[in-house]
């Protein structure tokens, strides 16, 4: 006659099996959660429709989606990059464990796209190159070598940037001069003040505007600048002399004639 396990033995076995099952499920859930945490901190670069897109891992063991940073200042830095046909990239499909690694990979792409544009003489190409540099400046995880390369590109575009800002300043000054003339010729209460201001700034504004136009239109900036400045500065000094003194500066007085010694008196005998 077979012996049947007692109720207590069967209950103990059931509790043991339940504990083992719970432990297995708990360890499996912990493993899935840990893998999800790791995946959520990873980044992937992927070429989609001619653009390089930054993907961020989902809170799942696998999978990623286009990343849009919560910090508004970072949105432009990690926005899709228009590759303009350069789709064969070594970074395509690469996974990065942290943002510093991602920044270094993105910089290589931005540098590749920016350098040919910085070497161009076309304003549109230079503007595109400048926009790429502005994006690279927002990447914090660059190596020392990449920071040196970035400074070099910044210096390459410095002249273009300075010339653009000076040209914008010239247009604004000329517009302000036009407004001053309108105010000086009107019957408004500011007519007198506008006239005085116009008298003070018009020669300088015209000189600056003429100089900037000449240096922007020709390649020989130094030679053109000298040719433009000489007559303009002479006219500026003459106008300032008339405004301050009311008349041209007086001519220097002629030097006195040297004294002629009187002839000696003849001896009397």
Averaged pLDDT, 154-175 = 85
pLDDT tens, residue by residue, 181-221? 888 888 888 888 888 888 888 888 888 888 777 766 544 44
**pLDDT higher than 90, residue 255:** no
SS3 of the chain: CCCCCCHHHHHHHHHHHHHHHHHHHHHHHHHHHHHHHHHHCCEEEEEECCEEEEEEECCCCCCEEECCCCCHHHHCCCCCEECCCCCCCCCCCCEECCHHHHHHHHHHHHHHHHHHHHCCCCHHHHHHHHHHHHHHHCCCCCCHHHHHHHHHHHHHHHHHHHHHHHHHHHHHHHHHHHHHHHHHCCCCCCHHHHHHHHHHHHHHHHHHHHHHHHHHHCCCHHHHHHHHHHHHHHHHHHHHHHHHHCCCCCCCCCCCCCCCCCCCCCCCC
Rounded average pLDDT over 159-167: 81
pLDDT at residue 107 is higher than 80: yes
Long-range contacts of 242-250 (CB under 8 A, 24+ apart): 243/199, 243/200
Q: Residue ranges of the domains in the chain?
A: 40-142, 162-245
Instruction: Average the pLDDT over 96-121 and give the result.
Output: 92
The verdict on pTM exceeding 0.85 is no
Per-residue confidence at 54, pLDDT binned at 50, 70, 90? very high
């Amino acid at each position: 006659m077979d012996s049947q396990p007692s109720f207590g033995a069967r209950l103990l076995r059931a509790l043991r099996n339940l504990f083992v099952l719970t432990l297995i499920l708990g360890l499996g859930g912990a493993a899935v959660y840990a893998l999800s945490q790791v995946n959520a901190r990873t980044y992937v670069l992927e070429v989609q429709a001619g653009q390089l897109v930054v993907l961020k891992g989902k809170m799942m063991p696998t999978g990623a989606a286009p990343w849009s940073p919560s910090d508004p200042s970072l949105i432009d830095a990690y926005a899709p990059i228009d590759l303009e046909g350069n789709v064969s990239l070594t970074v395509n499909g690469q996974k990065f464990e942290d943002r510093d690694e991602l920044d270094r990979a993105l910089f290589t792409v931005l540098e590749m796209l920016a350098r040919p544009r910085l070497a161009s003489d076309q304003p549109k190409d230079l503007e595109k190159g400048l926009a790429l540099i502005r994006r690279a400046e927002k990447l914090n995880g660059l190596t020392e070598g990449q920071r040196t390369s970035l400074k070099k590109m910044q210096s390459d575009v410095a002249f273009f940037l300075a010339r653009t800002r000076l040209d914008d300043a010239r247009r604004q000054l000329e517009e302000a001069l036009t407004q001053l003339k309108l105010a000086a010729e009107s019957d408004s209460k500011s007519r007198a003040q506008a006239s005085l201001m116009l008298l003070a700034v018009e020669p300088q504004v015209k000189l600056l505007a003429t100089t900037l136009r000449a240096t922007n239109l020709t390649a020989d900036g130094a030679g053109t600048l000298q040719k433009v400045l000489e007559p303009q500065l002479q006219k500026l000094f003459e106008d300032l002399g008339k405004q301050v003194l009311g008349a041209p500066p007086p001519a220097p007085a002629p030097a006195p004639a040297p004294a002629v010694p009187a002839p000696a008196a003849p001896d009397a005998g």
